[in-house]
Chain A
Amino acid sequence: MRPHPTQSRRASTARWAPPTLLLVLAVSGSRGATPTHAPVIAAPGVANPAHIAAGGLPPPGPVVRNPYRGDAAVARAGAKLFVSMHCSDCHADAAAGAVGPNLGDGRWRYGASDAAVFRSIYFGRPRGMPAFGGMLGAQGVWVLVTYLRSLPPPSDLPTERFTRH
């Protein structure tokens, strides 16, 4: 499940709203862009070869920005949300890894960008990461992203040394 481009842009700028409202906005994002028309399904035939480039070059899309990037106060709020939304019960205190992977090691299964982390939390991931977008809305998810991005990756993790010389 990939976020519809319009939906993501709206999501990134949405003000806080009750979760159900945000969920409606999220699933009806295309209507937000063209309110009076049904979505237009693109005809076969690709105008821009970059859209089908092999090797994983992504098509140009909207820039999904974290509105709180680097905001320490939001990161602190996110640390609380990480506990109250049960994230810590699966990812451990300080996101150090338990049922779900370590989220503080600076390494990411699904991409290191804020947008990728947002997608993981908003839509869930297949190996048992629940989707929280419906409950938290985009704003809540960005708060969590900001918290996770604030965790300093330990500098010495790639090497685990068991002997002292």
Chain B
Amino acid sequence: MAGFLAIAAIASATIASAAAGSAPVGAPADGEWPMPAGDYAATRYSPLDQIDPANAPRLHPVWSFSTGVLGGHEGQPLVVGDTMFVVTPWPNVLYAFDLSRAGYPLKWKYRPNVSRAAIGAACCDVVNRGAVYADGKIIYNLLDGHTVAVDAATGHLVWETKIASVADGETVTMAPLVIGNRVIVGASGGEFGIYGWIKGLDLATGRVVWTGHNLGPDAGMLIRAGEFHPPYVSGTQLGLRSWAGDSWKHGGAPVWGWISYDPKRDLLYYGTGNAGPYDAEQRAGDNRWSSSVLARRPEDGTLVWAYQFTPHDSWDYDATGAMILANLTIGGKRVPALVHFDKNGFAYTLDRSTGRVLVAKPFTHLTWAKSIDLATGRPVMNPAMQTGDTKGDVKGICPSLEGGVSPASPGAYSPRTHLFYTSTNNFCMDYTVHRIAYIKGTPYMGVSSPYTPGPGGYLGAFIAWDATTGRVVWKDEEPYPSWSGALVTAGNVAFYGTLDGWFKAVDARTGKLLYRFKVGSGVVGAPIAFRGPDGRQYVAIYAGIGGDWALLAGDTLSADPTDLRAPNPLVNNLASRTSQGGMVWIFGL
């Protein structure tokens, strides 16, 4: 794990100087959780080892707090020093809890004035995937297209920048990352025909320094002469020529997930979402760089390489899930890897220097492709699963458009077990699309896609994955789709939550269930571990079903007497086990 350690070392060397101003903030000091995935490599690995498989059965809740907000509680808290920070779904309240005092009272709370109009432009519930700490500031995105920086000590606004336009269908749900002087942000709106982008803001002022589009002309994508080297393809204007006519202008490719960063290569990595509209025949071509991973320079956004997981996406297979960086040994060779569990059901191990695919294997049941051709990087597609307005009702497409894993459910990597951990889904869809016109501010979708269970009698699973060979090492099946992020610790315990509201600790080596507790509402957030001011290890998790499940299991919503929804046939008894809520839980020994 030389690379991993190198990242950690650089990062902890810089964290001390962060307060001075311009120095980049890196991976956490041991026991903190200052950025969405815990570290730049997006491993969601905690070096804490007090909780282990032997004592984990003694875990118990030590504290809980209602956020006062309903809606999908995706993402995770941050812990910096003796403070825990929590961002809620819209209206995006920011709470700062004092972990050094009994009962963890609030130091302050910050309530931005977020537009209500953004609620209708959010495709999939009014979620927020969390904040990042840097330079004495908590930085996060508001649903209505603003990034705010709040003084971590006082709760006062330091700067606020409008980054996105709700009128154009852009909302912001992603978790920003701070790299050096740059705050990296992107917008959702793959369902609203946006012209997808990522931006770098100035950490001190919030000023937009660069905007790089994910599709369209080279100039807009920040492709600079001689600097763009995608594996497998070459030439100019790839983001233009791979779209019929000017379909790229409303082609989507949003950024609503996670950013990771390799300090040694000075590359940031992120995934792009689906192409729009859902009728793929309206946008003939590969539709680069939707459903792709892109590598850029944080300072000026220069695009260095890009690789497309799902060319000509015909199934809403966003690639916005986490890009986890780890140094692995594959065929006896050390490789700087990037591991990604895609909605399309394949897990990819790439060389993160070049973007070339080293390993690509299914981690869940899939039918849309047979395999990934390592020579070309392209999927070997199943022609019967191609969709489009002339294709009628295409049945039996697996995974469904919810993904073999939701990008909202980031995985984890343990340098101890050398395994990756992730939630997965096991259900399929029938898919009908119709031709659709672009109407600004309304969805650019045109799809009907009922879901059916996948084989095996379970709808989700939490798995351990060997990314060097592409194989499931163990699998904990779940009756419902598994929608939470993963956490793994140096104590060899992995943590996740379930849609029916269980928080679970399992043995990272075997998957054996060690502890579970019913947290009141389904879990769609991601657990974190931290060391409290008392020196003990704790694990925190949000409860609060929502995200896509606010739409899919509308009968879990109870707060509006004028909005009654029938159960979803796929999960017709989910509402017997959970209803909406919004809670922060802390567990300890």
Residues of A within 8 A of B121 (CB): 128
Residue in B123, B562, B563, B567 whose CB lies within 8 Å of A160:
B567
A101 and B560 in contact (CB under 8 A), knowing A90-B442, A126-B116, A128-B119? Answer: yes
The answer to whether A101 touches B563, judged by C-beta atoms less than 8 angstroms apart, is yes
Using a CB-CB cutoff of 8 Å, which residues 83-137 of chain A contact chain B? 83-86, 89-90, 92-93, 96-102, 105, 107-109, 126-130, 135
Using a CB-CB cutoff of 8 Å, which residues 139-165 of chain A contact chain B? 154, 157-158, 160, 162
Give min CB distance, A152 to chain B, whole Å.
13
The answer to whether B551 touches A98, judged by C-beta atoms less than 8 angstroms apart, is yes
B571 adjacent to chain A (CB < 8 Å): no
The answer to whether B563 touches A99, judged by C-beta atoms less than 8 angstroms apart, is no
Selecting from B398-406, B443-451, B482-490, the interface stretch reads B443-451
CB-CB nearest in chain B for A112:
B562
A86 and B119 in contact (CB under 8 A), knowing A97-B563, A107-B562, A157-B566? Answer: no
Give min CB distance, B125 to chain A, whole Å.
8
Q: Kindly state the separation between the CA atoms of A96 and B120 in the bound complex, as whole angstroms.
A: 16
Q: Kindly state the separation between the CA atoms of A98 and B551 in the bound complex, as whole angstroms.
A: 5
Residues of B within 8 A of A97 (CB): 554, 563, 565
Q: Kindly state the separation between the CA atoms of A85 and B436 in the bound complex, as whole angstroms.
A: 9
The answer to whether B120 touches A90, judged by C-beta atoms less than 8 angstroms apart, is yes
Residue in A99, A107, A127, A135 whose CB lies within 8 Å of B117:
A127
Give min CB distance, B439 to chain A, whole Å.
6
Residue in B122, B437, B562, B566 whose CB lies within 8 Å of A154:
B566
A107 and B120 in contact (CB under 8 A), knowing A89-B446, A154-B566, A157-B566? Answer: no
The answer to whether A109 touches B445, judged by C-beta atoms less than 8 angstroms apart, is no
Residue in B124, B442, B565, B576 whose CB lies within 8 Å of A86:
B442
Q: Kindly state the separation between the CA atoms of A111 and B119 in the bound complex, as whole angstroms.
A: 20
CB-CB nearest in chain A for B555:
A160
CB-CB nearest in chain B for A158:
B564
CB-CB nearest in chain B for A110:
B562
Residues of B within 8 A of A92 (CB): 551
Give min CB distance, A98 to chain B, whole Å.
5
The answer to whether B445 touches A89, judged by C-beta atoms less than 8 angstroms apart, is yes
Q: Kindly state the separation between the CA atoms of A86 and B443 in the bound complex, as whole angstroms.
A: 6
Residues of B within 8 A of A108 (CB): 562
CB-CB nearest in chain B for A130:
B441
Residues of B within 8 A of A84 (CB): 437
Q: Kindly state the separation between the CA atoms of A108 and B560 in the bound complex, as whole angstroms.
A: 10
The answer to whether B448 touches A93, judged by C-beta atoms less than 8 angstroms apart, is yes
CB-CB nearest in chain B for A100:
B120
Residues of A within 8 A of B434 (CB): 83
B331 adjacent to chain A (CB < 8 Å): no
B328 adjacent to chain A (CB < 8 Å): no
Give min CB distance, A94 to chain B, whole Å.
10
> How many A residues are at the interface, by size bracket?
20 to 34
Q: Kindly state the separation between the CA atoms of A8 and B322 in the bound complex, as whole angstroms.
A: 51
Give min CB distance, A126 to chain B, whole Å.
5
Q: Kindly state the separation between the CA atoms of A92 and B124 in the bound complex, as whole angstroms.
A: 12
Give min CB distance, A14 to chain B, whole Å.
22
CB-CB nearest in chain A for B577:
A162
The answer to whether B117 touches A162, judged by C-beta atoms less than 8 angstroms apart, is no
B353 adjacent to chain A (CB < 8 Å): no
Residues of A within 8 A of B562 (CB): 101, 105, 107-109
Residues of A within 8 A of B117 (CB): 126-128
Q: Kindly state the separation between the CA atoms of A155 and B219 in the bound complex, as whole angstroms.
A: 57
CB-CB nearest in chain A for B443:
A89
Q: Kindly state the separation between the CA atoms of A134 and B563 in the bound complex, as whole angstroms.
A: 27
Q: Kindly state the separation between the CA atoms of A71 and B283 in the bound complex, as whole angstroms.
A: 38
Q: Kindly state the separation between the CA atoms of A30 and B382 in the bound complex, as whole angstroms.
A: 61
The answer to whether A99 touches B122, judged by C-beta atoms less than 8 angstroms apart, is yes
Q: Kindly state the separation between the CA atoms of A130 and B122 in the bound complex, as whole angstroms.
A: 13
Residues of B within 8 A of A129 (CB): 120
Residues of B within 8 A of A93 (CB): 448
Using a CB-CB cutoff of 8 Å, which residues 444-467 of chain B contact chain A? 444-448
Residues of A within 8 A of B442 (CB): 85-86, 89-90, 130
B561 adjacent to chain A (CB < 8 Å): yes
CB-CB nearest in chain A for B278:
A89
Residue in A89, A102, A126 whose CB lies within 8 Å of B564:
A102
The answer to whether A128 touches B563, judged by C-beta atoms less than 8 angstroms apart, is no
CB-CB nearest in chain A for B446:
A89
The answer to whether B564 touches A162, judged by C-beta atoms less than 8 angstroms apart, is no
The answer to whether B564 touches A109, judged by C-beta atoms less than 8 angstroms apart, is no
A85 and B119 in contact (CB under 8 A), knowing A154-B566, A160-B555, A162-B576? Answer: no
B118 adjacent to chain A (CB < 8 Å): yes
Residues of A within 8 A of B560 (CB): 101, 109
Residue in B118, B437, B439, B448 whose CB lies within 8 Å of A128:
B118
B537 adjacent to chain A (CB < 8 Å): no
CB-CB nearest in chain A for B450:
A93
B191 adjacent to chain A (CB < 8 Å): yes
Q: Kindly state the separation between the CA atoms of A107 and B116 in the bound complex, as whole angstroms.
A: 21
Residues of B within 8 A of A96 (CB): 554, 565-566
Residues of B within 8 A of A158 (CB): 564
The answer to whether A105 touches B122, judged by C-beta atoms less than 8 angstroms apart, is no
Q: Please list the 4 inter-chain residue pairs (A to B) with the smallest Cβ-Cβ separation, ordered nearest first.
A: A128-B120, A89-B443, A162-B576, A101-B563
Q: Could you show 23 A-B contacts with beta carbons less than 8 Å apart?
A: A83-B446, A84-B437, A86-B443, A86-B445, A97-B563, A98-B554, A99-B124, A101-B563, A102-B554, A102-B563, A105-B564, A107-B561, A109-B563, A126-B116, A128-B118, A128-B120, A128-B122, A129-B120, A135-B439, A157-B564, A157-B566, A160-B575, A162-B576
Beyond contacts A127-B116, A128-B118, A158-B564: 20 other A-B pairs, Cβ-Cβ < 8 A, are A86-B439, A86-B444, A86-B446, A97-B554, A97-B563, A99-B122, A99-B123, A101-B562, A101-B563, A102-B564, A105-B563, A105-B565, A107-B562, A109-B560, A109-B562, A128-B119, A128-B121, A130-B441, A130-B442, A160-B575
